[in-house]
Amino acid sequence: MQCELVMPRGIDAAELPLGGAQAPLQLVTLTNSRGTEVKLSDLGASLVSIHTEDRYGHLDNILLSYADPQHCLDNHWYLGVTAGRVANRIGGAKFSLENREFRLPANDGANHLHGGPAGLSTKRWTLVQSESGAAGQSVTFRCESPDGDAGYPGNLVVELTYRLGEDDRLTLEYSATTDRATPVNLTNHCYWNLAGRDGILDHELVIYAEQMLELDSQLIPTGKLLDVAGTPVDFSRRKKIGLDIEAWPGGYDNFWVVDATAEKRLKPIATLTHAASGRSVSIASTEAGVQFYSGNFLDGSRNRESGSPMQQYAGLCLETHGFPDAPNHPHFPSVILQPGEQYRQTTIYSFSAE
C-alpha cells in the first residue's frame, strides 16, 4: 500500500482496485462505539461514506457514494472531495495579486471551479498520521501542490485531519503553508442524504444567516450582499428544502453569509434534519459561510452505492468556506495566504438521531 503507517488497533486500512494501470484507492475507516463508520480515500482526501444509525437503530450511508469506483477518477460531481486550492468559483478564471495577473483553467464555462480540472480533489494525498484512543480515532492526509500548479503561485503544503469522536462528532481540521502569496479557500464537497435513499426535498434545513451573496447569471458574485428574510432563500428557521425550491429557478446553489468579518471563530453554520429517520447533522465551522447546493446538476447518469441512479436533488452539499471569488473583490474577507502564515480551518459535523 501507499500508506506505510502501521494503523492503530480499530482503524481499518484497505485497497480498492481500479481498472487499467491506475493505482488502487487507499481506504481508511474510522469507527466509534455508537456504530458510526466514516470511510475515507487518499484520492482528494475524500469522504467516501458515513454510516450512522436512525432512530430505530438501522445503519445507512448518509452520503452519496459511487457504485462504480472508476467514477472516483472522473468525479465531475466532486462527490466527497477536498475542493481547492480555491473552492467554488473564480470569475473569468483569473485574479490579480501583487500587481500580477494569474490565469487559471476555465472548467465551468468561462470560470474556474473548485481548483480546476487538476485541483487538489484529483490528487493522491499521503496518509501521514493516525491515532486511536478513548476519545476517538483520527487520520491525517497531506498534499503538496507545487508553484504554478493549476495556475496558482507558490509551493503549497496542505494537511487535513479527520477525527471521529465517541460523541458522534466528525471534525475536519485543515492547515496549509506557502512560500509565495496565494489564495487558499478549502472545503469538503460531500453530498448529504440523511434518509440513505430517495431525494432530499423532504429534508429540513436551517442556515444561521440573514444574508447571502448576490450572483450573476454565471453564479459569480456581483459583490453585493442580499437580505434573505421573506424570500425563497430564507432558511433562518427550519424549513423543508422542497417548499420554495420551485420559486428559485434552477435550484439552490448560493453562498449564505454567516459572518462577514475576517475573524475565524467556531460558530453554528447549519442544521440538516430528516424527520422520517430522525437523523440530523449540525455543522459548525470557523468559515465565513456556507455554499448550499441542492444537487441541481445530478442527472441520473451515475448510480449511487445502493445501485439507484443519482437523479436531480438526490443529495445536497453544505460547503463551509470563505467568500467565493474573493480574490476579485477587495472588500470581501481576504483568502490570501502569505509566507510565514498558516491557513487554518475547523469544520465539525455532529450526528444525532431524534
The per-residue DSSP string of 82-135 comes to EE-SB-SEEGGGEEEETTEEEE----BTTBEETT-TTSGGGSBPEEEEEEEETT
What pLDDT, on the 0 to 100 scale, is given for residue 4? 52
What pLDDT, on the 0 to 100 scale, is given for residue 251? 97
| Position 59 confidence tier, pLDDT thresholds 50, 70, 90 | very high
Q: Is the pLDDT of residue 12 over 80?
A: yes
Spell out a b/e string for 168-195, using b for 16 or more CB atoms within 10 Å of the CB, else e.
bbbbbbbbbbbeeebbbbbbbbbbbbbb
Q: What is the mean pLDDT of residues 245-262?
A: 94
Q: Please state the domain extents for the chain.
A: 12-353
Which residue out of 53, 112, 114, 189 is catalytically annotated?
A: 189
Q: What is the mean pLDDT of residues 222-247?
A: 97
Q: Is the pLDDT of residue 259 over 60?
A: yes
Q: Would you call 114 a catalytic residue per the annotation?
A: no
Q: Which CATH number fits domain 12-353: 3.30.56.10, 2.40.270.10, 2.60.40.10, 2.70.98.10?
A: 2.70.98.10
Query: Mind listing the pLDDT tens digit for each residue in 310-341?
Result: 999 999 999 999 999 999 999 999 999 999 99
What pLDDT, on the 0 to 100 scale, is given for residue 5? 62
Q: What is the mean pLDDT of residues 54-66?
A: 96
Which residue out of 53, 112, 319, 321 is catalytically annotated?
A: 319
What pLDDT, on the 0 to 100 scale, is given for residue 135? 87
pTM over 0.75: yes
Q: Is the pLDDT of residue 233 over 60?
A: yes
Peptide bond into 85 cis (omega under 30): yes
What DSSP designation does 150 have? G
The mean of the pLDDT values for the chain is 95
Q: Would you call 203 a catalytic residue per the annotation?
A: no
Terminal Cα distance for the chain, rounded: 40
Q: Is the pLDDT of residue 1 over 70?
A: no
Q: What is the mean pLDDT of residues 142-151?
A: 98
What pLDDT, on the 0 to 100 scale, is given for residue 3? 47
